[in-house]
Structure 1
């Protein structure tokens, strides 16, 4: 599927897992205390999901975005969280890549729908090589956020893909099947991809808009 596994553990400018901030995040997640790599990755998954706040408004989205910046800012949406998760997996020696696809049936309020321009979202997640197989993981929506939204928490599965977040008892994210794999992404290219799908999200300030600015309110 994806060849040359060794290079998929290397640090890159975006997946800068040699940075002290990323190293401390992985250590602080308790990954090294686990008896096997699957449990270590689960620890990392849950730490990214629950300690990095999910937010699409006024978060870093520029050419300097990297895993270490995600740690320092402590907030972001699926792109940010997936970048950090991929970097953390690579630091633990697990081959990992960033993936993107378009999804519908996404939990969103009116402000988010305005920001993205509809109900089809460019969604980001990770694909990792664990115990002899490629699996997909998406440590995106915080446990607290899921509780407030009335949706199930998406839990890590070391044996199968776990990316289809349920919105209710009968509905879940619907993926278009247009998956793209980014093994060594360049932020200029990722920003172009985002801008083409969601032009309001990419600004000259290098941050996503605030919800107030979308409503035409200035402070």
Structure 2
């Protein structure tokens, strides 16, 4: 399957920093499923989840730029994972949704009056002749601090959210599914955020960035 393996402006996996990111997986004999699993863990835990670093600058959403940070929004981390997968020849695309979340959103509630995250980014991965979902957003350290098990991905089943925390309390739910995208729909992301967070535009700096 050749679709969804190409490089794009955002999934710029020819860049040396992305090639370095996936180089270890090309040095050993691994199946695509094993590569997808191991890269998932590398992205999940190697970049701290930060839902407050939002940018509508095109260059800020290039995988090569995200890779050089130590944190990322769920969309950032999804872009990075997709780029790495495509670099390994594994088809992948961006999937967006609206979720009600209870992990590390105190400032979101304070600033925007809601614990709904939109659009929330995850990844559709093509493995073993089927599409499965993976969500590399929430790093292990953050999950353990907030009393929820880190989200695993086995390459066989959808891995999209932790429904309950360690105490059995409702933790996360999906409210809307915006579907999958072959490339990063920046205009849709910007419009969606501004429609759902009316205060957002007043908080953006001149470069179109929010850093809380």
Normalising TM by the smaller chain, what interval? 0.7 to 0.9
TM-score with structure 1 length normalisation?
0.84
The answer for unaligned runs of 5 or more in structure 2 is none
Preserved contact between residue 63 and residue 188 of structure 1 (Cα < 8 Å) = no
The answer for unaligned runs of 5 or more in structure 1 is 211-219
Which residue of 52, 62, 74 maps to 2:57? 62
Structure 2 partner of 1:216: none
Q: CA RMSD in A?
A: 2.0
TM-score with structure 2 length normalisation?
0.87
CA shift, 1:59, in A, is: 5.5
Could you report, residue by residue, the CA deviation over 1:148-196 in whole angstroms, capped at 9, with x for unpaired residues?
1111100112111011124414324211242321112242332222222
Preserved contact between residue 31 and residue 39 of structure 1 (Cα < 8 Å) = no
Preserved contact between residue 98 and residue 126 of structure 1 (Cα < 8 Å) = yes
More displaced 10-residue stretch of structure 1: 200-209 or 37-46: 200-209
For 2:43 and 2:145, how far apart are their aligned partners in 1? 18
Structure 2 partner of 1:176: 175
For 2:112 and 2:57, how far apart are their aligned partners in 1? 17
Q: How many residues in Structure 1 have an aligned counterpart in Structure 2?
A: 204
For 1:208 and 1:8, how far apart are their aligned partners in 2? 30
Preserved contact between residue 59 and residue 75 of structure 1 (Cα < 8 Å) = no
SS at match of 1:179: strand
Which residue of 39, 48, 52 maps to 1:44? 39
